[in-house]
Structure 1
Amino acid sequence: MIPPAFDYVRPGSVEEAVRVLAGAGEDAKVLAGGQSLLPLLRLRLAFPDLVVDVGRLPGLRGVREEGGFLVVGALTTHHDVVHDPLVRRHAGLLAAATAKVADPAVRHRGTLGGSLAHADPAGDLPAVLLALDGELVAQGPRGRRTVPAREFFTDYLETALTPDELLIEVRVPKSEGWGFHYEKFQRAAQSWAVVGVAALVRRGNGAIAEARIGLVNMGATPLRATAAEEALSGAGDVRAVARAAESAAIGTVPAQDVSASPEYRAHLARVLTRRAVLAAAGMG
């Protein structure tokens, strides 16, 4: 399909991009890798008056260490996240989940920041960032601000970003000593997850000392399975993990659509949580 007509601008700096966004108000959309926005335009599900192309802005790509954090530029592609040695060493869950995003063509064009700013609850990476207790850094006319991932995703396809702000980097705490696994169920290899589970597990004294679980496509936003996280504390064997995983869907509001019923999604959340936690804990 042919997108609706819109004006187009390619700013040369973050500061210029912010000025353009501030002048356009809510009538502008930001274009990074294009793997989220372009399908919406072609299907006429988005009608911006202005598209602001930030895909070539300098300084927003790459990964660096900053104390106990990895800092990933918002324009870093999925491919580069997957293969970055710092991400593999210090944030293995992010690398593992990103490797399952769509297909190689999308991973070479799509960006971490674009995926998070799009905030699709069926996307792989928002729930991963929740499980990692990550942070997102935005720049606007009043300067920079840091938003915890748990406060960033506010509703379906909506975030805490204001219309005049640009996501510029993602901060992920280093997670050495944690086991990790990303598990998802999808109808086809390149399709969105029907349900996904991102699991981080820290063991101590032969049992699970702490678990973090991010849920994909179990509500209007990515979610943490807090009831299951609490139930997993002290779980020392496969049966205990299975019992704890039964609470994975508590507090969720999964959607009814052509892919699954809410009941089936709740079932998947329980099954995938058990699988993901056992793999992350080295029990399965």
Structure 2
Amino acid sequence: MKPSRFHYVRPRSIPEAVMALQRHNSKVLSGGQSLTPLLSMRLASPDVLVDINGLTELSGIELRGSDLWIGAIARHQEVLTHDLVKTHVPLIQQALAYVAHPVIRNRGTSVGSIAHADPAGELTAVAALLGARIHASGQQGPREILAADFFVGPLESSLEHGELVTGVSFPVLDATWGSSCAEVARRHGDYALAGVCALVRVLDGLIVAARISIFSVAGTPLVIDVMDVHEDPEKLNLKVQALIDPDTDIHATSDYRRQLVKTLVVQALTEARVHAELRQS
């Protein structure tokens, strides 16, 4: 199929982009790897398509104080190979290794993936687990939205009409923190049937903080503090299973997803601890 008719706008500044987005039924085009299929299948039919790829101020990756900032048009591949990301927030690259395929990563944007708010998306889980801040600009000026407040449902965020996501800030993790991302998909690069990101802090050989973010089992990423049960696999599983309610669909049953989560939680926490120890060695 072909997209329905729309008006194409390529703004030259953020205020111009925000102005264009005030029109009824407008959409932002950055990487387009999620939006373009929706347009082609007419699952999305915007009246106005606002292409932000000419806004160079939205490109790049840089340290800003104690945060790592990623601009709205930074491509997955750039984020996946950037030294600042590897050094300061390695979980992003650990998760991106599962995202799609090289051709898609060359064009898709990491911030766009977060803004898309797909509950099966690896980067939504990363943002939620790390407590990232989403930067948005609208008619009322710029604002920051905590990831915990940003994801409100499947493909739904707390962005207001006419707002543009300009970047995402992730807190820098020192060497006492280790992380991991583990998932199961039918094929590498497909959406996960279930996935887990884990973050642990190790001091003097002991875990002093542990939390996980589970994705593809609910309408939004599910962040759980597991410090109190991480040493006991049975109690860990009981706590996690009580908080998830996965659906059955054509890809997997609810019971199968629960079994995947049980295995992936232990795997991700174990790998995160090893990662913390490696960062400190």
Residue of structure 1 in register with 2:2 after alignment? 2
- Mapped pair 1:88 → 2:89: no
C-alpha separation between the residues in 1 aligned to 2:158 and 2:192?
24
Aligned with residue 265 of structure 2, among 268, 273, 283? 273
Mark the CA change 1:204 to 1:51 in structure 2 (over 3 Å): closer, same or farther: same
Q: Distance in 1 between matches of 2:235 and 2:145?
A: 34
Checking the alignment, whether the CA contact within 8 Å between 1:241 and 1:278 is kept in structure 2 is no
Q: Is the 8 A contact 1:119 1:153 kept in 2?
A: yes
CA contact (8 A) 1:11 1:57 kept: yes
Aligned to 2:278: none
1:196 maps to 2:195: yes
Q: Which amino acid aligns with 1:12?
A: R
Rounded Cα–Cα distance in structure 1 between residues aligned with 2:212 and 2:35: 28
Alignment-derived partner of residue 30 in structure 2 = 32
Which among 123, 135, 138 is matched to residue 137 of structure 1?
135
Alignment partners' CA distance in 1, 2:164 and 2:154 = 19
Q: Is the 8 A contact 1:102 1:189 kept in 2?
A: yes
Partner residue in 2 for 1:13: 13
Q: Which has the higher mean CA deviation after the structures are superposed, 189-198 or 200-209? A: 200-209
Counterpart position of 1:153:
151
- The alpha-carbon deviation at position 245 of structure 1 amounts to 4.0
> 1:219·1:252 contact (CA, 8 Å) conserved in 2?
yes
Unaligned residue ranges in structure 2 (runs of 5+):
276-281
CA deviation profile, 1:75-112 (whole Å, cap 9, x unmatched): 11110111111110000001111122100011110001
Matched, 1:115 2:140: no
Contact residue 202 and residue 208 of structure 2 kept, 8 A = yes
2:63 equivalent to 1:65: yes
Deviations 1:198-251 (A, max 9, x none): 11111234332111211111111111134x35422xx3xxxx356424432332
Corresponding residue of 1:53: 51
Segments of structure 1 that go 5 or more residues without pairing to the other structure are: none
Find out whether 1:255 has 2:247 as its counterpart. Answer: yes
Would the aligned equivalents of 2:98 and 2:188 in 1 still touch at CA under 8 Å? no
- Distance change >3 Å, CA 48–CA 229, structure 1 → 2: farther
Contact residue 78 and residue 99 of structure 1 kept, 8 A: no
Task: Say whether the 8 Å CA contact 1:225–1:250 is kept in structure 2.
Answer: no
Q: Check conservation: 1:183, 1:196, Cα contact below 8 A.
A: yes
Question: 4+ runs of 1 displaced by more than 4 Å?
Answer: none
The alignment covers a number of residue pairs equal to 275
Quote the RMSD (CA, aligned, Å). 1.7
Amino acid at match of 1:88: K
Opposite residue 20 of structure 2, the aligned amino acid is: V
Q: CA deviation at 1:267?
A: 1.5
Q: Distance between the aligned counterparts of 1:31 and 1:118, measured in 2?
A: 11
Superposed displacement of residue 31, structure 1: 0.8
Matches of 1:253 and 1:13, distance apart in 2 = 43
**Is the Cα contact below 8 Å between 1:247 and 1:270 reproduced in 2?**
no
- C-alpha separation between the residues in 1 aligned to 2:100 and 2:72? 18
Distance 2:103 2:47 in 1: 28
Which segment drifts farther, 270-279 or 47-56? 47-56
**One-letter amino acid of the structure 1 residue matched with residue 162 of structure 2:** D
Q: CA offsets, 1:182-206, max 9 Å, x none?
A: 1010011221011111111112343
Q: CA deviation at 1:255?
A: 2.0
State the TM-score, normalizing by the size of structure 2.
0.93
* One-letter amino acid matched to 2:67: F
The equivalent of 1:220 in structure 2 is 219
Deviation at 1:51, TM superposition (A): 1.1
Contact preservation (8 Å) 1:242, 1:274: no
